[in-house]
Structure 1
Amino acid sequence: MPEPLPAQAVVGRRIAFTHHRDLNKASRDQHGVITGIDTEQRAALRIRLDGARSNLNVTPDYEGLHYLDEVVPVPELPMGRFQPSTGQPGMDYVYDGVLVVEFEDGDMVAITGDRAKAEAAVATYLREQAGIDDEGDIRHALGDLVDRDVFFAWEPEDADCAWFMHPADADPTDVMNVHYLPA
């Protein structure tokens, strides 16, 4: 049977959290909020770190968990369409202002309507991130870039991916022109 929860363990409590791998480092804690409590589990607390879209399950007495004084309403996860930026999970490569995303299946997208900028960003990504050094292979790949209108939408918290890219539909909200490179 799980141990009783400390009085500070309440939904909405702000917390500071250090991952186990960082406990002996002089790194700064990440902050977040307790989003749920399951008293039937040893890892009874569900916490969501600021800027994250998924919860971590932790024990109330975990040494890297520090309860802060503030209790706030649990913020809702953003859902629906959004404009991509480097602040979202899986979107961390930018070349000359163009965000390039590689999907799990190897497909890629350069988030720009400007073909020349898309080609430069994808070519640089292929060299620097994919390790392709044959310029002929890079030129061949760039020939496969397809101009598409799409939108990006957040998925529910427990989905396999935080977000998906969808073909544009009748709703013009957040539709953007991108250059897509199939695997």
Structure 2
Amino acid sequence: MPDITLPAGAVAGRRVAFTYHRDLEKAGPGQVGVITAIDTGQPASLRIRLDGSRSNLHVFPDYEGLRYLDEVGPVPELPMGSFKPSAQHPGMDFEYDGVLVIEFEDGDMVAITGDRARAEAAVATYLREQAGVDDEGDIREDLAELKPQYAVFEWEPEDAECAWLMHNATEGDEQAVRVHYLPAA
């Protein structure tokens, strides 16, 4: 592959608009992000973190779906430590009546609320709509296993396997939130 010369606009901290290859034919400005680093190996590539993402894309500086914007500033720090979960965070994409429900890879689930009735309604809806459980008896059995507890959600480093982890906590722990936990059967 031939060497790629870095354009003058390719600097860490530059805001960019990025369009995935599959979307190049569609009208639209693309997703906005920032150049977090420049890899000068052969061939050179830019590391771009799209707004709202916790990982970098590796993009050739002359990629047709990349547009350099005028704004240049410091590379924003990746949030680390504890956080309060919301539907805007990665992996938290099911919400029922204001209650987030998360299913982990091992089948465990958590409803982020201290209110048992709201947790039951959210988990039951998740089981019906997302997990495809049709038997109301099975749903009632699962709901009986919901355990109230406190948890802390913490961001992981950028290249970690998961964007965040949930850890058990106790009442009064900083950033602890009340949840209802459903272990996998």
Same fold at TM > 0.5: yes
**Structure 1: how far apart are the matches of 2:168 and 2:55?**
25
Amino acid at match of 2:137: G
In structure 2, what is the equivalent of residue 88 of structure 1?
89
TM-score by length of 1: 0.96
Q: CA RMSD in A?
A: 1.4
1:119 corresponds in structure 2 to 120
Aligned to 2:30: 29
Q: Give the CA deviation at 1:27.
A: 3.8
Partner of 2:132: 131
Sequence identity percentage: 70
Q: Which runs of 5+ in 1 are unaligned?
A: none
CA spacing shift, 1:87–1:43, aligned 2, 3 Å: farther
* Counterpart residue identity of residue 78, structure 1: P
Counterpart of 2:166 in structure 1 is 165
Distance 2:139 2:44 in 1: 48
Deviates more, 1:110-119 or 1:39-48: 39-48
Deviations 1:17-41 (A, max 9, x none): 0011111122441100000001104
Q: 1:43·1:57 contact (CA, 8 Å) conserved in 2? A: no
Deviation track 1:76-135 (CA, whole Å, cap 9, x = no partner) reads: 011000000011000011111111111112111000011111000000000011111110
CA deviations 1:44-73 (Å, max 9, x no partner) are: 100000111110001011111000111110
* Stretches of 4+ aligned residues off by more than 6 angstroms: none
Aligned length in residues: 183
Partners of 2:173 and 2:143 in 1: CA distance: 28
Query: Structure 2 vs 1, CA of residues 43 and 171 (structure 1 numbering), >3 Å: closer, same or farther?
Result: farther
Alignment of 1:32-51 (within 5 A): 32-42=33-43, 44-51=45-52
- Aligned partner of 1:98 in structure 2 is 99
Paired residue type of 1:143: A
Q: Say if 1:35 and 1:82 are closer, same or farther in 2 by CA, change over 3 A.
A: same
State the match for 1:3 in structure 2: 4
